Amino acid sequence: MSAQQAGCFITVEGIEGVGKSTNIQFIQDWLKERGVSFIVTREPGGTELGEQLRELLLHGGNVNDDAELLMMFASRAQHLNEKIKPALKKGQWVICDRFTDSTYAYQGGGRQLNVSHIEQLENLVHGDMQPNLTLLLDAPVEVGRARAAKRGAFDRIEAEDLAFFNRVRDMFIQRSAEHERYCVVNANQPLDAVQESIGAALAQLKEKVDAL
């Protein structure tokens, strides 16, 4: 936790359909039961500008890969300054559905953009401000896709092929080995087992925070 940060910043990551939305609901219930003040938000999006960018990113027409990368970070710059940092400063916990790890995974892994460009943008937009905990819900691409397909038509990014999503998953796994803040949860098991693991990670974080 940085000096001016009082709350906790939790990000939830993974390929589509692994259960991020479902488990964010579980996290909200967990925090409510313990009287923790929190907000839930998402990327791309989370602010008026971010939601407009999200619409263009997911449902717009032709978006060049570099433009896509810059739009993700434009949304993030607004989000951090308008919503995330002020909430953390007030001592609230922030639960964010995707964050910069998704940019490494989708634009770096999936689109195969130069990772050093992502690092430069990360540095510009949030520097060393990082999540306290990143929950990576991991499952084979086929499992996530089958769950997501039940929802109907795919958006612009979801329409990519299996090889794209396997690169995305590989990049998430690679990053989870490189950063201590990650907790990898096997999302290819019944929901109650998934939530038992998430509950344990939350309890560990809360214990650390309460001891400060």
Residue choice 10, 43, 109, 175 for contact with ligand Z5A (CB under 6 A): 43
Q: In the structure, how many helices (H) and strands (E) does the chain have?
A: 9, 5
Check binding of 72 to ligand Z5A (CB under 6 A): yes
Stretch that binds ligand Z5A, among 78-86, 119-127, 169-177, 190-198 (CB under 6 A): 190-198
Residue choice 148, 173, 205, 209 for contact with ligand Z5A (CB under 6 A): 148
Whether omega before 131 lies within 30 degrees of 0, making that bond cis, reads no
Minimum CB–partner distance for residue 98 and ligand Z5A (Å):
4
Q: Which of 98, 83, 100 is nearest to 38 (CA)?
A: 83
Give the count of residues interacting with ligand Z5A (CB under 6 A).
26
Report the Cα 34 to chain-centroid distance in Å.
23
Check binding of 138 to ligand Z5A (CB under 6 A): no
Beta carbons of 106 and 159 less than 8 angstroms apart? no
Segment holding 184, helix H or strand E: strand 182-186
Check binding of 191 to ligand Z5A (CB under 6 A): yes
Check binding of 135 to ligand Z5A (CB under 6 A): no
DSSP-derived secondary structure letter, 95: E
* Count of CA atoms in the C-beta half-sphere (13 A) of 197: 17
Check binding of 108 to ligand Z5A (CB under 6 A): no
Q: Rule CB under 6 A: which residues touch ligand Z5A?
A: 14, 16-22, 43-44, 72, 97-98, 102-103, 106-107, 147-148, 150, 157-158, 187, 190-191, 194
